[in-house]
Structure 1
Amino acid sequence: MADQMIFKRYELKYLLSPEMDRAIRIAMMEHMVPDIYGRNTNLSLYLDTPDFLLVRRSIESPVYKEKLRIRSYGTVGPEDKVFVELKKKYRKVVYKRRVALTEDETNAWIKGSCLPADSQIVREIDYSRRLYPQLAPRMLLSYDRQAFYAKENQDFRLTFDRNILWRMEDLNLHSPVRGRPLLKDGQVLMEIKTGAAIPLWLVEVLSREKIYRSSFSKYGRAYEELMRKNKPGGQAYWKPPIPGGQGFLPEQELRNSLPAPTEHEERRHDNDIAV
């Protein structure tokens, strides 16, 4: 098992309208470049107890929370690489441990086998699984992500997630991408991922466009949708499943799809660059 990784960083989330998304993208063209490996349809299979203990704890916004999931970049076959991830959050700092396995190895691990390696990361992940004996796949989320990093600091990243879907059936990483939409039409989830400060140009555009942080959690929001459906009258809000994996454009097409800036926007953008 080759890939074992640890991440430590801040992750700040923002729900964007189409207008906010446009403003961010115009501003970032001078500062960010697309990650050549950062355009994917991501699938995340969340493990939880039968009563959804982990996600319920997370929604309560405790000082410490954790999630255990299996992630792939696109649908996979039995021998393709997937990642078992333990994501912890303590006092707003995100700590992520992950190991790479094949889907077959992952399925064996879910059924009770030990991970096929020994390291501190593996022991932490195995301990979390043993801590919750009835842990099993409960929900699958998919989304189309585009990632960018700063020209002057590759540790500073922006990601944009579209077409976020969730489902409770076909809980695997090889079935076609489909599910119930989590966002309103045109909405985008932007995440800032950084181990340090946010650059001034981005602080200014967030302030100017009145873009505020959100506590949005994909898994948490999907669980709330599930609970809403189970309340009296909730069936009326139940969105039907739709196909996924088609919510992003190649970067050049995305740039070309932006309407031409107005004269006022051009002046504001020039002022941003001059700061």
Structure 2
Amino acid sequence: MAIEVFNRYENKYLMDTKAFYNLYNRLTEYMEPDAHNKDNKFYSISNLYFDTEHHTLIRNSLSKPKYKEKLRVRAYGVPAPDAKVYLELKKKVFGLVNKRRTALKLQEAYEFVRTGKPPAFREGMNKQVIAEIEYFLSRYELEPMTYLAYDRIAMFAKGNRDLRISFDTNIRHRRYDLKLEAGDHGEQLMEKGQWLMEVKAEKTVPVWLARLLSEHEMYRTSFSKYGNEYKKSIRNSIHTDNTNKDIQLQQERELIIL
């Protein structure tokens, strides 16, 4: 059964392709690949984030409060309309990430968020998580806001499933076709060849990992996929507005000349 409740600290690192391979090859001495990464192949993850009309959740998150939360639907690959997905409520309190999720059918997840009413319970659902998400939905009027997908390689420490490291690349996003089943197309969020590494641990990282990160000059950074997508969309919106204003001014000048 998939783990449905996570409590852990997450540290993030950005790197290029050369640094990824150098570090990944060393990590294989201490870690083993995720079950999804058979034969060292990537697997893709697609997410649909929900927010209010005025982006309340992500704007609050970017202000770096002591407590923040977000809601998303997650699938592995591009799901069929009746496929199993995960509805996830992710919170961060004083640096500790708490993620709670339950398995639902894709259309059930959409309807749950749209109406605030949970689907009829059946085997495989997590009652406690559904109740928490129901309460969360009672506090906000949410709508699909952005789509994010990426290709991932993940690893677990040998003999210690509490330590997990993931590498994400080809992070793509869109603010149209806001359905997971619509495909995993979108614009690139980072420059080509960039990787995002996340180190996830319930406690402190082991000494061997701290030494390895230091040896490869890996330094922690703050990087939220949804946060960076939001900031990029705002910049694009401002640029579009300015361009439209320039076009309007030019058209008005041409009318005056005529």
Give the TM-score range, shorter chain: 0.7 to 0.9
Q: TM-score, normalised by structure 1?
A: 0.80
Give the structure 2 partner of residue 273 of structure 1.
none
Asked if the contact 2:49/2:72 (under 8 Å) is kept, the reply is yes
Distance apart, 1:112 and its partner CA:
0.4
Distance in 2 separating the partners of 1:235 and 1:23: 44
Partner of 1:7: 6
| Per-residue deviation, residues 73-130 of structure 1 (Å, max 9, x unmatched) | 0111122101110000001100011111101211221320522238332111111111
Judge conservation of contact 1:166–1:182 (CA < 8 Å) in 2.
Answer: yes
User: Of 181, 187, 192, which residue of structure 1 is paired with 2:199?
Assistant: 192
CA-to-aligned-CA distance 1:155-204 (integer Å, 9 cap, x gap): 21110101000100111111121111011111100011111221222211
* 134, 137, 143: which one aligns with 1:126: 134
Find the aligned partners of 2:83 and 2:237 in 1 and give their Cα distance.
36
2:200 is the alignment partner of 1:176: no
Q: CA separation in 2, counterparts of 1:71 and 1:115?
A: 17
Alpha-carbon shift at residue 4 of structure 1 (Å): 7.9
Report the TM-score when normalising by structure 2: 0.85
- 2:110 maps to 107
**Identity of aligned pairs, percent?**
39
Cα distance in 2 for residues equivalent to 1:175 and 1:167: 11
Q: Is the 8 A contact 1:20 1:211 kept in 2?
A: no
Q: Structure 1 residue 3: deviation in Å?
A: 7.1
Counterpart in the other structure of 1:226? 233
Structure ranking higher in helix proportion: 2
Deviating beyond 6 angstroms after TM superposition, the runs of 4 or more aligned structure 1 residues are 233-236
User: In 1, Cα distance between the equivalents of 2:113 and 2:48?
Assistant: 11
1:197-249 deviations in whole A, cap 9, x for unaligned?
A: 2122221122122211111000000000001112247999xxxxxxxxxxxxx
SS of the residue aligned with 1:84?
strand
Task: Work out whether 1:153 is the aligned partner of 2:152.
Answer: no
**In 1, Cα distance between equivalents of 2:195 and 2:139:** 35
Among 119, 127, 137, the alignment partner of 2:144 is: 137
Match of 1:270 in 2: none
User: Which residue of structure 1 aligns with residue 76 of structure 2?
Assistant: 73
Do the aligned partners of 1:229 and 1:235 also contact (CA within 8 Å) in 2?
no
Q: 2:222 aligns with which of 205, 215, 218?
A: 215
> Gaps spanning 5+ residues in structure 1: where?
237-275
1:2-60 CA distance string (max 9 Å, x none): 97821111111111122321221122121111112254210110000011110011111
When Rg is computed on C-alpha atoms for both structures, the one with the higher figure is: 2
**Structure 2 unaligned regions, length at least 5:** 244-258
Aligned residues: 234
**Residues 14 and 4 of structure 1: CA distance in aligned 2, closer, same or farther (over 3 Å):** closer
Distance in 1 between residues matched to 2:81 and 2:63, nearest whole Å: 36
RMSD: 2.0
Q: Is the 8 A contact 1:4 1:97 kept in 2?
A: no
Rounded Cα–Cα distance in structure 1 between residues aligned with 2:229 and 2:242: 15
- Alignment-mate amino acid for residue 45 of structure 1: L
Aligned partners of 1:228 and 1:234 also within 8 Å: no
